[in-house]
Chain A
Amino acid sequence: MSDLPDDPDLLAAEYVLGTFDPATARQVAARAEADPALRQAIMAWEERLHPLSAIADEAVPPDALWRRLGASIGAGPPIDSGAWFAPASVAVRAWRSLAVWRGATAAGLALAAGLAAFILLRPPPPLPVAALLPSGSGAPAYMAQMQPDGTLRVIALRAVAVADDKDLELWALPKGASAPIPLGVLPARGRGVVSQNVPANGTRLLISLEQKGGSPTGRPQGPVLFAGTLHDVD
């Protein structure tokens, strides 16, 4: 860092200009993460220099670019394919994983880069979370969390055995509603993403035991085994 300008504004200017080597750029980016004034200065320089981008000729990107982007966003946030069902401390791991989900999508690419743009982002809003407990007593069996894109992610905290001819079905009971909305059958491995809109805060989530493929009537037929309520955290 010996060669860096002392003036934070000049530091921001050179950062935006992009003339630093990757290691130095990373150092400045890390500093800006913790220094709102530096972030502000970087943002101001991005605005100041942005009109220069008009000098580069526009070019039509290959069609494959949109297809690739469409595929990237169509899949939604990346689903962790690692093993979730460790016997010990599963709840702790799940909570940590939830915390990772919050930051991972936006931060992942930025952290990989030497130069990072982050200033237009504000802190993530709290994403409602629910722990689903057995209806009798016992430790939480499932966690559910709203995602920034409006989907609901559900993971099993432990293995739940279900007879071969049965399925577990997830339901949402919005605050004040009398009938639950079917959200779908839980995948065999106990985690999945519910893509339809789920009313957020205060909604009760239920998991009932149903015939294979889920309740044919759109209402729970079997007993409710697990339940929990979506709440904001933070």
Chain B
Amino acid sequence: MLVSLRAHCWNSPDWMRVPGAGKGLFDLVDTKRHPGVPDRAAEDAALSALLVQCGQGDRAAFRRLYDLESKRLYGLALRITRQPALAADAVHDALLQAWQGAARFDPARGSVAAWLTGLVRYRAIDVMRKRAREVTGVDLPDEADETPGALDRLLAGAAGRALHRCLDGLEQRQRQVIVMAFVEGLSHADLAVRLESPLGTVKSWIRRGLQALKVCLDS
């Protein structure tokens, strides 16, 4: 029963707990991300535990979730919207949505971080598309995401390393459109303008790139 769980926050049933859960749970989590340190699994477990607590109306857990994830999510939203006010709107809406949906969160279905990433990106992209984004291709750093240094940030976790390896195996244009679309929230049309390439060509790069990525990641 939701009600009784809420009353005994730290006495959650065993299935809700992660190893080491309790007062020291968050000691497991390094809030700074150090490339090369594979702390993602502990981080995911902690985020799951926090979201479960949020589902029981625990506002302190929501604050912890915010402390752990807001910088990453805000940075992501800022990269897409390029406007602090819009980025804040996107993160606000996404986290509110997470709070409101937390009671129905199922830890077995996926990682919280990936879900939050989706929530924030979709909100940010929506906002930008509705504003009929001005694509000038002039004041935006072109192809910045493609630098080896940027992609090297993927190496911090096992999933990121696999993605890095598979991105590495793509043709340069395929890799570029996928990374640019994800990180900057660009549409097919945006990409066509930025890369000065026909729309159909851009779509084809994306589709072939995504198909090749899947084959590589699933193998």
Q: Which of A49, A65, A110, A150 contacts B163 (CB 8 A)?
A: A49
Q: Does A146 contact B (CB under 8 A)?
A: yes
Q: Distance in Å from the Cβ of B166 to the closest Cβ of chain A? A: 9
Chain A, 144-185, CB within 8 A of any chain B CB: 146, 148-151
A90 on the interface (CB 8 Å rule)?
no
- In the complex, the answer to whether A199 meets B3 with C-beta atoms within 8 Å is yes
Identify which of B59, B63, B181, B213 gathers the most chain A CB atoms within 10 Å of its CB.
B181
Asked whether, in the complex, the Cβ of B163 is within 8 Å of the Cβ of A51, the reply is: yes
With A61-B88, A65-B70, A117-B122 as given contacts, are A9 and B214 in contact (CB-CB < 8 Å)? yes
Task: Enumerate B175-214 residues with CB–CB distance to A below 8 Å.
Answer: 178-179, 181-183, 185-189, 191, 203, 206-207, 210-211, 213-214
B143 to chain A, nearest CB (A): 13
- Identify the closest chain B residue to A118 (Cβ): B101
Q: Would you call A13 and B214 a contact (CB within 8 A)?
A: yes
Residue A73 lies at the interface, judged by CB distance under 8 Å to chain B: yes
Q: A13-B210, A55-B183, A199-B4 are in contact. Are A22 and B126 (CB under 8 A)?
A: yes
B83 within 8 A of A: no
Q: Is the CB of B122 within 8 A of A69?
A: no
Please, which residues of chain B bring their CB within 8 A of the CB of A52?
154, 163, 179, 182-183
Q: Pick the contact of B88 from A64, A123, A148, A198 — CB < 8 Å?
A: A64
Closest residue of B by beta carbon distance from A123: B104
Residues of A within 8 A of B2 (CB): 125, 146, 148-150, 200
* Contact yes or no, A56 B183, CB < 8 A: yes
Q: Which of A13, A58, A124, A148 contacts B72 (CB 8 A)?
A: A58
A58 contacts B109, CB within 8 Å? Answer: no
B41 part of interface (Cβ distance < 8 Å):
no
Interface string of B70-106 (1 = CB under 8 A from A): 1110111011000010011001110111011101111
A residues 79-123 touching B (CB-CB < 8 Å): 105-106, 108-110, 113-117, 119-123
CA distance A193 to B88 in the complex (A): 30
Q: Which of A40-48, A207-215, A220-228 contacts B (4 or more CB under 8 A)?
A: A40-48
- Contact partner, A197, options B7, B91, B106, Cβ 8 Å: B7
Size category of the binding interface on chain B: 35 or more
Asked whether any CB of chain A lies closer than 8 Å to the CB of B12, the reply is no
Is A50 part of the binding interface, using a Cβ–Cβ cutoff of 8 Å? yes
Q: Residue on A with the closest CB to B125? A: A18
Interface residue stretch chosen among B13-21, B22-30, B111-119, B134-142: B111-119
Residues in chain A near residue B6, CB distance under 8 A: 149-150, 197
From residue B126, how far is it (CB to closest CB) to chain A in Å?
Answer: 5
B106 near A113 (CB under 8 angstroms)?
A: no
Q: In the complex the two chains form, is B74's CB within 8 Å of A59's CB?
A: yes
Partner of B179, one of A50, A55, A58, A65: A55
Residues of B near A59 (CB, < 8 A) are: 71, 74-75, 78, 87
Write the A27-47 contact mask toward B (1 if CB under 8 angstroms, else 0). Answer: 000000000000000010011
Beta-carbon contact of A120 and B109 below 8 Å? yes
Of the A-B pairs whose beta carbons lie under 8 Å apart in the complex, a sample of 26, sorted by A's number, is A10-B210, A13-B211, A17-B181, A20-B187, A22-B126, A47-B114, A52-B182, A52-B183, A53-B76, A53-B121, A54-B154, A56-B72, A56-B183, A57-B79, A60-B74, A61-B70, A61-B71, A61-B74, A66-B66, A73-B99, A120-B112, A124-B104, A125-B103, A146-B2, A149-B2, A199-B1
Besides A61-B74, A70-B63, A148-B103, 14 more A-B contacts (Cβ < 8 Å) are A10-B207, A21-B187, A52-B182, A53-B76, A55-B179, A62-B84, A65-B70, A73-B62, A110-B97, A119-B109, A120-B112, A125-B2, A149-B57, A150-B5
Q: Which residues of A come within 8 Å of B, CB atoms?
A: 3, 5, 9-10, 13-14, 16-22, 43, 46-62, 64-66, 68-70, 72-74, 77, 105-106, 108-110, 113-117, 119-125, 146, 148-151, 197-201
